[in-house]
Chain A
Amino acid sequence: MEYQVHPYDVLVIGAGGAGLRAAIEAASTGLKVGVVCKSLLGKAHTVMAEGGVAAALANVDDRDNWRVHFSDTMRGGQYLNNWRMAELHAKEAPDRVRELEAWGALFDRTKDGRILQRNFGGHRYPRLAHVGDRTGLEMIRTLQDHGIHSGMEVHMECTVLSLLMDGGRIAGAFGYDREKGNFIHWPAKAVVIATGGIGRAFQITSNSWEYTGDGHALAYRAGAELVDMEFVQFHPTGMVWPMSVRGILVTEGVRGEGGVLRNSEGKRFMFDDIPDLYKAQTADNEGEGWKYCQGDKNSRRPPELLTRDHVARCINREVKAGRGSPHGGVFLDIAWIKEHIPNSEEHIKRKLPSMYHQFKQLAGIDITKEPMEVGPTTHYMMGGVKVDGDSQMSTVPGLFAAGEAGGGLHGANRLGGNSLSDLIVFGKRAGEYAAKFAKGNGPVSTDEKQIADATAWALEPFDRGSTGENPYQIQYKLQESMQALVGIVRTKGEMQEALSVVGELSRRAEKAGVAGHRQYNNGWHTAMDLRNMLMVSEAITRAALLREESRGAQFRDDFPDKDPEWGKYNNVVRQGTEGEMIVEKRPITPLPAELKAVIEEMK
C-alpha cells in the first residue's frame, strides 16, 4: 500500500492551543516542525473555550500572585495534582498571557488600559483574562496567525492511527488524510501529543466529534503511562433543551458576572451545601455574593462559584429530588441583575455576547429577560499521559504530551480558566523540551512492519463493507452506556456492567464495516475512532473502580466520603505485556517544604 512521507524533527499531533504553542516553540529553535491537525486549522476545541485564561497578573486585585493561584489549583484538585506542574503553571501563566498580547491578542481592558480579569469558580481573586465570552477563539486565532509565520508545516484534516517506535524510542507517526483518504508516514525524532480530550465517549458532552481520546490511546499503545483517568469533569452548566443542543456549554462566566442557580421552587440551592474546604471563602448570603461579583474586595464569592464538580453534583441532586426545570435541568438566571444594574440588557449582551446569541438562536430564549435551563455536561478530562512536570516527556523517550491530553496539573478537578493557561504554559514547555530531545538524539529508523500492520488494520472496515456492524450505532451504544454507568454518580455494580459493555462493544467494533471509498468517508473515520474511545472508556472505568472513595470529579455512591488514605495516591494505567490493561495506585511524591508552606499560608 502506498503512502506519503513527511519527515520532521518534531511532530506535533493536535492544533489546539497546546499543539500550536508547542509547534511555535519548537519551530523557534530552527528545527523542522510538522503539525497534524484532525480538522481545519483553527477549529480545534480551544475555539469553544469561553470564560477566560487564568493567570495571576494581579491587574484587578493586587493581592493576587502565583502562590494564591498555586494554592487555588491544588485545593481545586483535592491535592492529587502533580505539584511541580501546578507550581510552574502558576508562575509562568502571566508571561504566557502577556506573550499572546505581543502576538496580537486583544483582551478586554481595565480602566487604566491593562488586561481585564474576571471572577471564576475556585479562584480566590478575579484572575481570568478574557475577551467577552469568546476567549478561546481569541487565543487559537492568535496562535494560528502567529504560527503560520513561524515555519511550521500544517497537515490539515489528518488523523494519526499509530505512533511508530524505534526500539524503545519514539520514531514518528502513521495516519491518513481525510480529504483524499491517503496514508501518510511522519518520521520524527520527537512527538508531542496535544490531542485534547475524550468527551465523545459520553452521550451528553460539550465536545465535538474529534475528542475520541486519540492521544491517550496512542500513548497507551506505545507503552506510556496514563494518570488520573478516573477524573472526568462534568461541567455544571450545559444546555439541556432542545434535545439537539443538549450538552453545549454555557460558560461559567455567566455565574462570574452574577448569574445565579435556582431550582423549580425559585430557591438558590447552592447556599444549602457549602463544603468545609471552602466555607471560609464563600458568601453565606445573597447580598455578599452579589457584592463579590461587583468587585467588592471585602466580600466572599457566591456559592454558584464553587468548584465545578461540586456545583454539578448539587444540580444533579436538585433534579433527582424533583426540583428540576421542565427539561431536567435547573435554572441559570442572569436576567435578575436588572434589579441592580441599569441597562442590564446591554450589559449582558456586552459581557456574554455568544451566550446571548447561542440561546437566542438555538433555544429561542432571550437570556437578558428569562432564565436558561442548564444541566451537567461531559466537558474535560483531568486524566492524561503521565509526564515529567518540567519537560512534559512521558514514560516513553521522545514522546511528550501537553494540554488536556497530558495529565497531572489538575488532579481530581480542574478549575475553570486553568485549561487555557495549561495549554500555553505546558504547550511551550513540551515544544521546548521536544526540540531539545530532537537535537540531542540521532535519526530514527523506520520499521516497515509497523506501517504495514497499521495500514491493514485501517482497511479492514472496507473488507467487511456495509454488511459489517454500523460504526455509528456502536458509538451511540458506548456513549449511552458510559453516560448511564460511569457518569456523575458511580457505583461498583454499574461500573462492572460498563466493563462488560465495553468488552462486548470492542468485539463488535472489530466487525465494523463501511461502504464506499476512502475519500472523506465519515463512516470509515468513525469506525477507526472507536478503538480509541473504547480504550479510554475502559481506562476511566477501571481507574474509577479502583478508587474506592469520593474526591473531586469522582463521586462514588457506594463510597460517598473522601478517604485521607486515598489522598496519597494517583491511579496509573498502562498496557501489560499480554496487551491487558493494568491499573495500579502510585504514591504521590510528597510536597517540598516550601510549597507545603504556601498551601498552609493560604488556608
Chain B
Amino acid sequence: MAHTQSKTPLPEQGMFRIWRGDSVGGKFEDYKTKIDPGMVVLDAVHRIQAEQAGDMAVRWNCKAGKCGSCSAEINGMPRLMCMTRLDELNLDMPVIVEPMKAFPSIRDLVTDVSWNFEVKKKIKKFAPRHPDENDGTWRMQQVDVDRVQEFRKCIECFLCQDVCHVLRDHRKHDEFIGPRFFVYTAALEMHPLDTADRVSDLKNKNGIGYCNITTCCRQVCPESITITENAIIPLKERVVDDFFDPIKKLFHIL
C-alpha cells in the first residue's frame, strides 16, 4: 500500500526561514532541522521550538486541520501549517514561514486576530421562525440544509481574510467585514429557519460592494468552501434585488 505518496524523496534536513519579531519589527532567521516522512510544516516549527528556539511564538491546537489556529504564510501562500506537508514543498530552497499580513503582529508567527471576533458580534444573530410543531421542534429537509452546511464547515482560520486585498492591501477593516463574515452572513441568511434581514447591513455597513470577486479567498480556503460563488455572489444579488432593482425602486418612489 502506498502510505505516503511523496512527490520527491525527502532530504534528511530542511532549512526553515522563520519570521521572528513583534509589532515593532523583526527579521527572518534560518533554522536547520531534521525531517521525517509525512512531516508537516507545523512539525518542523515545533521541532525548532523544542530544540533551538524555546521562546518562539506559534499558535496551534488540533494539528488536524479542524480548529484553524495555525494559519500562516508558507512560501508566500496563506495556509494551515498543520496541513502543509513538507514533501509538497521544494526543500532545495529554504521554506519561508511568516505570519498572516492582514492582521497586526503580536510575536513571531502569531498575529492579533481579535478584530474578527469583534466583527462577528455586530452581525445580527440567528432569529428562528416559530417552531413547526407543538413540541417546539422544526422540520427541515436535508436538501435545504445542505447549502448552509457547506458554510458551517468554516473553521475560522481567517486565511480568506488574510488573502483578501480589501483587507490585506487596502486595510478597509473599518468598512469591510471580509469573506469569512460574508460566509457567516450567508449561513444565517440562507438558514431555513432564520427570519432576520441582514441585506441592508451588507450594503451599508459591511462593505460588500468592495468585493470584486477575485476568488482569492475561495482558493485558499482549507475547507474548500465555495466562498465567492455560493456565498458572496448570492448575497450581492440580494443587495441588488433590494436596492437596485428599477421596478422596486419605482415602488419605493411611488
Contacts and interface: CB of A to CB of B under 8 A. Distances in A.
B139 interface: yes
A84 B126 CA distance: 34
Contact of A209 (B60, B66, B153): B60
B139 A244 contact: no
A363 B3 contact: yes
A180 to B, nearest CB: 8
A473 B50 contact: yes
A548 interface: no
Interface stretch (B141-149, B165-173, B228-236): B141-149
A156 B59 CA distance: 12
B64 A248 contact: yes
Interface stretch (B31-39, B200-208, B243-251): B31-39
Nearest to A112: B139
B49 A472 contact: yes
Contacts of B58: 522
A131 B187 CA distance: 15
A42 interface: yes
A131 B146 CA distance: 10
B191 to A, nearest CB: 7
B39 A361 contact: no
Interface residues of B, number: 64
Given A40-B69, A156-B114, A242-B4, A209 B61 contact: yes
A103 interface: yes
A102 B128 contact: yes
Given A241-B38, A358-B65, A520-B106, A148 B57 contact: no
Nearest to B114: A156
B110 A520 contact: yes
B231 to A, nearest CB: 15
A274 to B, nearest CB: 29
A239 to B, nearest CB: 9
B107 to A, nearest CB: 4
Count chain A CB atoms within 10 A of each CB in B50, B106, B110, B194 and give the residue with the most.
B50
A269 to B, nearest CB: 19
Given A43-B69, A131-B149, A472-B50, A249 B37 contact: no
Contact of A327 (B3, B114, B145): B3
A363 B155 contact: no
Given A104-B128, A138-B152, A520-B108, A362 B40 contact: yes
A443 interface: no
A245 interface: yes
B85 interface: yes
B98 interface: no
Nearest to B123: A145
Count chain B CB atoms within 10 A of each CB in A106, A210, A515, A517 and give the residue with the most.
A106
A145 B153 CA distance: 14
Contacts of A493: none
A30 interface: no
A516 interface: yes
A302 interface: no
Contacts of A182: none
B139 A113 contact: yes
A137 B66 contact: yes
Interface in A456-478: 466, 470-473, 476
B67 interface: yes
B191 A104 contact: yes
Given A101-B137, A520-B108, A148 B121 contact: yes
B254 interface: no
Nearest to B132: A113
Interface string B110-151: 101110010011000110100100001111111001001100
A245 B64 contact: yes
A390 interface: no
A348 to B, nearest CB: 17
A39 B69 contact: yes
A445 interface: no
Nearest to A516: B55
Given A102-B128, A209-B60, A179 B3 contact: no
B253 interface: no
B46 to A, nearest CB: 9
A473 B61 CA distance: 20
Interface in B40-62: 40, 43, 49-50, 54-62
A102 B191 CA distance: 12
B107 A519 contact: yes
Count chain B CB atoms within 10 A of each CB in A114, A242, A515 and give the residue with the most.
A242
Nearest to A248: B64
A139 to B, nearest CB: 11
Contacts of A364: 2-5
B55 A98 contact: no
Contacts of A365: 1-3
B83 interface: yes
Interface in A2-51: 39-43, 45, 47-48
Nearest to B192: A106
Nearest to A179: B106
Contact of A470 (B36, B54, B61, B145): B54
A48 B50 contact: no
B69 A242 contact: no
A142 B181 CA distance: 15
Contacts of B125: 145-146, 149
A108 B142 contact: yes
Count chain B CB atoms within 10 A of each CB in A43, A102, A146, A326 and give the residue with the most.
A43
Contacts of A102: 128, 131, 136
Contacts of A138: 152
A370 interface: yes
A544 B206 CA distance: 57
A523 interface: yes
A301 interface: no
Contact of B62 (A47, A241, A471): A47
A523 B38 contact: no
Count chain A CB atoms within 10 A of each CB in B54, B60, B141 and give the residue with the most.
B54
Contacts of B142: 108-109
A367 to B, nearest CB: 12
A129 to B, nearest CB: 12
A137 B187 CA distance: 15
Interface in B2-16: 2-5
Contact of A113 (B22, B67, B141, B155): B141
Given A522-B55, A522-B56, A145 B137 contact: no
Given A98-B137, A156-B114, A516-B54, 7 more contacts: A47-B66, A102-B131, A104-B191, A113-B141, A248-B64, A358-B64, A365-B1
25 contacts: A43-B68, A45-B62, A47-B66, A48-B67, A98-B136, A108-B142, A114-B137, A132-B149, A134-B153, A137-B153, A146-B126, A149-B125, A154-B117, A209-B60, A242-B37, A244-B36, A244-B40, A249-B64, A354-B65, A362-B83, A363-B4, A363-B38, A472-B54, A519-B106, A520-B57
Interface of A: 39-43, 45, 47-48, 98, 101-104, 106, 108-109, 112-114, 131-132, 134, 137-138, 141, 145-146, 148-149, 154, 156, 179, 208-210, 241-245, 248-249, 326-327, 354, 357-358, 361-365, 370-371, 373, 466, 470-473, 476, 514-517, 519-524
| The 3 residue pairs across chains A and B that have the minimum distance between CB atoms | A242-B38, A516-B55, A113-B139
